[in-house]
Amino acid sequence: MKQKVHSESSDCCSCEHDHHENHNHIHNHNHDENHNHDHNHEHGGEFNLKNEILPLVGILSLYAPGVIFENQLHNTFYSIGEYLLFIPAYLLSGWSVLKTAGRNIVRGRVFDETFLMTVATLGAIAIHKLPEAVGVMLFYKIGELFQDIAISRSRNSIKSLLEIRPDYANIQIEGELKKVSPETVNIGDIIVVKPGEKIPLDGEIIHGNSQVDTSALTGESVPRTVRIGETVFAGTINKIGALVIRVTKLFDESSIAKILDLVQNAKSKKAATEKFITKFARYYTPIVVFTSLAVAILPPLFISGATYSEWVYRALILLVISCPCGLVISIPLGYFGGVGGAAKRGILVKGSTFLDTLNAVSTVVFDKTGTLTKGVFKVVEIVPLNGWNEQEVLRLAAKVESHSNHPIAQSICKAYGGKIDEFEIRDYEEIAGYGIKAKVENRVVIAGSDRLLHREKIYHDNCQLEGTVIHLAVDNIYAGYIVIADELKEDARLAIQALKRMGVERTVMLTGDNQAIASRIAQQLGIDTYEAELLPEEKVNAIEKLLSTASKHGKVAFVGDGINDAPVIARADVGMAMGGLGSDAAIETADIVIVTDAPSKVAEAIQIARKTRKIVWQNIGFALAIKGVFIGLGIFGIATMWEAVFADVGVAMLAILNATRAMK
């Protein structure tokens, strides 16, 4: 339970004893330092396929005639015809690579992919292999185009999420409506949202009824009906009726602002595999350069008949083959696709590192209320005792609970329905994990769990009641109890079944509710183990115990609704929160936010993580295997520069295409 544990009866044996008890473009994976091509979309603009293809057409118009008429051009005076066609084509296709390589050398960062390509192609020109030199740069540029197309597609789900950012608010000033930026609206201001408009800020409806489309945030296609007194959230769309809303949060503090910030900054938390590739490239590239140097110099010294021109050419081939483009580009793109694909399904992942951790999850721990159950409580029974009647018990319970925002407290106030004079309530005290104590109508009233009665030494005979129960006592005399009902979420059982099918070893439920309720729900859902009657701090202890007993490589995920589960969410290996379109603690504390509030999304998140990791390692294995084969062929003189181009750019293109599958 959150905030206070209402429904927990103590595990008392006798009632007479006290109870003891959170891309700048995908090129930022260090690739931006090495390769900073000037596509406008890197600087915040839109990717435009036409603008990218036009330069390629120009390069091909020079390159194709050069290849077709190579012999004739080569036989011109000093081969001037060959140079007139191929050098412009080389500069047009490779300028960004040459510029980046030069800039990095000046900065002291010599060994990178642009350096390899620059040395290889300039060397090819020096030994008069102009078509091959241009081919390397041209096909690299084509590979970049495929990469940018893939990134553009991968960004679509993120982009669609960012487009829900409201552009304006209709603020009511002296009876007139004025369009202003949402950032300028203050708490308490009155705004009007017309049919078809986005709701610009979080607020409470003070006039009007409507239906609100939350699909942009949650993926849910069915609009939600809203009425006076209900809270609506920024980024959702008002469908049919005009709404007058009192703003309850500044724009920067609204749920949508925090979600947007979360998504935009997800790239900052890289997976271990991404970090490994960056480190790998740092050692790999110098080894390739010095190996190529050895291939160029040593064989002519020791092998009879070997010529420098032949072995320099082989060394240049080795340089081109060895470019780590496929790895450097496709691995971050794979993770980016995984994060984007998850966002498209209402699962916001704060960084690729959490996708990696999800792969190793062996234990999934659920909170109960608001996570496995709807958290929508309703009074189903009132049992008065010791001379009190039902209406009196409900009235006093509603008054003492009126200051609490706990769902159970709100359900009691709703059942009462009468007006509550706040001046009648004095000395209000909320006792975490137990209940509430206050002075109401000049009488000391306590409302809460069975263990609260034991704490206050109030005699009663109702220790083992089944269900969510609020006990009431007035002036130390037991006055009766109220039974509250909560429903299971529709997909809760399917969620547990899906996790077990995926091979998750343990499913656990932690709750502040009593043993009887916890046992019944665990049995209904097929949960392996549960712990009941937990105070908030005891949930942290329970997670600590699960972490210590998890298998060596197994991780523990905790799924909660984010209201008062923040310490537990933070402590787990992976904290997952039901976003609830308004739970700030969920958005800020959790590693993964499930916007749709559906527990079945937990299994879906793990499935996305597993698929993403599989794709990433497919790319690593494929790229290294192909390059290994072609490096051998290049050293023995079997592979030409054209095969080298395939081994470099071809592998990169295939890896990029494979990485885009993470979106699906």
Asked if 278 contacts 257 with a C-beta cutoff of 8 angstroms, the reply is no
As a whole number of angstroms, the distance between CA 268 and CA 265 comes to 6
Asked if 329 contacts 265 with a C-beta cutoff of 8 angstroms, the reply is no
Which residues lie across from 446 on neighbouring strands? 437, 473
As given in the structure block, the two tokens for residue 45 are: 């603009």
List residues with catalytic annotation: 367
For residue 197, what is the DSSP state? Answer: P
Asked if 479 contacts 461 with a C-beta cutoff of 8 angstroms, the reply is no
The Cα-based distances of 654 to 138, 329, 657 in angstroms read 17, 11, 5
CB atoms near residue 88 (< 10 Å):
16
Contacts of 159 (CB under 8 A, 6+ apart): none
For 134-158, b where at least 16 C-beta lie within 10 A, e where not — what string? bbbbbbbbbbbbbbbbbbbebbebb
The Cα-based distances of 82 to 62, 63, 316 in angstroms read 10, 10, 21
Residue given tokens 């296609």 in the structure block: 221
Q: E strands within 140-278? A: 169-173, 176-180, 190-193, 203-207, 210-213, 224-226, 231-232, 237-238, 243-247
Contacts of 245 (CB under 8 A, 6+ apart): 190, 191, 192, 193, 199, 201, 203, 204, 205, 206, 232
